[in-house]
């Protein structure tokens, strides 16, 4: 069966520090991968998605970037965190083609101080 992992589960970082959140998927190949940010009252905002290695689409211009160095690994990064980057970050995977449902990881709670 397929599983999706995210780490760390929680993170507290000072403003201006770098960020690296990792997501890995097991039990499937060539998945679509997604990064979302969930904020109270604002639902899930799609940040990045990837349909293959080194193929990244950015949905919202901001202080973050994403990379997909391997088929089942998706990384969310920042060179310098802002206070506004605080939030709950969710990784998800879906089957190629995009018509099917997505499966979500446990999330990372990021607090920028």
Partner 1 sequence: AQSVSQHNHHVILSEAASLELGCNYSYGGTVNLFWYVQYPGQHLQLLLKYFSGDPLVKGIKGFEAEFIKSKFSFNLRKPSVQWSDTAEYFCAVNPSTDKLIFGTGTRLQVFP
Q: Which residues bind partner 1 (CB under 8 A)?
A: 32, 34, 36, 41-46, 49, 51, 59, 90, 92, 94, 97-99, 101-107
The CB-of-84 to partner 1 minimum distance in angstroms stands at: 18
What's the closest the beta carbon of residue 65 comes to partner 1, in angstroms? 18
**Which of residues 85 and 105 has its CB atom nearest to partner 1 in the complex?**
105
Specify burial of residue 1 (Cβ count, 10 A radius: 0-12, 13-18, 19+): exposed
Which residue number, 21 or 92, has a Cβ lying nearer to partner 1?
92
Preceding amide of 8 cis, omega within 30 = yes
Q: How far is the CB of 34 from partner 1 (least distance, A)?
A: 8
Inter-CA distances, 101 with 41, 63, 81, Å: 23, 28, 31
Q: Cβ of residue 101: shortest distance to partner 1, in angstroms?
A: 5
Nearer to partner 1, 6 or 86 (CB): 6
The two structure tokens encoding residue 79: 């060179």
DSSP summary character for residue 84: G
Distance CA 84, CA 52 (A): 29
């Amino acid at each position: 069966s397929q599983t999706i992992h995210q780490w760390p589960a929680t993170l507290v970082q000072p403003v201006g520090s770098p960020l690296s959140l990792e997501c890995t998927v097991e039990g499937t190949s060539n998945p679509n991968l997604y990064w979302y940010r969930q904020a109270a009252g604002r639902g899930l905002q799609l940040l990045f998605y990837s349909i293959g290695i080194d193929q990244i689409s950015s949905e919202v211009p901001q202080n973050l970037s994403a990379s997909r160095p391997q088929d089942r690994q998706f990384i969310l990064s920042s060179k310098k965190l802002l206070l506004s980057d605080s939030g709950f970050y969710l990784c998800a995977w879906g089957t190629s083609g995009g018509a099917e449902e997505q499966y979500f990881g446990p999330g990372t709670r990021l607090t920028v101080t």
